[in-house]
Amino acid sequence: MELNKYIEHTLLKQDASKAEIKKLLDEAIENKFFGICVNPCNAAFASQYLKDTGIKTVTVIGFPLGQATCESKVLETIDAVKNGADEIDMVINCGKLKDKEYDFIADEISKVKAACQGKNLKVILETDLLSQDEIRKACELCIKGGADFVKTSTGFVKNGVGAKVEDVKLMYETVKEAGLGVKASGGIRDKETALKMIEAGASRLGTSSGVKIIAQ
């Protein structure tokens, strides 16, 4: 297994310096990771730095709360694509999901997907905040809205666990027939955990510990 091909090497902390971003990109090149994931303000630099390497630039939208308006998420997505983002990871509006405003959720996903201009859209469910039924429903809405992937977590929930094997399994079982992928993200810090996520159905891993994982 080429574990490096599953990894989106990630740096989303709010005080990340340009030097730290450059280090992330150099590590991605050295280890031939699938991609990197950075905040939108770093997408243009990352995209240009990784030009001709084949490594994807992924950025986040409505991050980390998912509580921006749909219009803001759409504009943020358009800007990210213009700045060279290859894939978009958008945070779902968990409040709307819990209020059972399902048409809103599906419509928002659909509008952001259109703004992706053919790029992959991953929808972050924030599984730490959801019941199993809510996770299943969120996945169904991602299918309805035309997303390409469902993703577990932002990694920013206080006292949150992040990706859990049982959640990844549930997500995979819900979306596999529709052809969506699953990205496990949050708390993946060692090779054993990474392999468990892949076994559960994840085809992508979002982690800041990519170098450590493939060295184990």
- Domain CATH for 50: 3.20.20.70
Residues 4 and 214 sit within 8 Å (Cβ to Cβ): yes
* Residues of the chain with confidence (pLDDT) below 70: none
Domain span at residue 47 reads 3-215
Q: Give residues with Cβ within 8 angstroms of 107, minimum separation 6.
A: 70, 145
Residues 155 and 188 sit within 8 Å (Cβ to Cβ): no
Provide the β-strand partners of residue 87. Answer: 58, 120
Task: Specify the number of domains making up the chain.
Answer: 1
- Is 151 an active-site residue? yes
- Is 148 an active-site residue? no
**Of the residues 73, 113, 164, 183, which is catalytic?**
183
**Of the residues 86, 89, 148, 167, which is catalytic?**
89
**3-class secondary structure, 16:** coil
State residue 1's pLDDT score: 78
**Of the residues 56, 73, 137, 151, which is catalytic?**
151
State residue 178's pLDDT score: 98
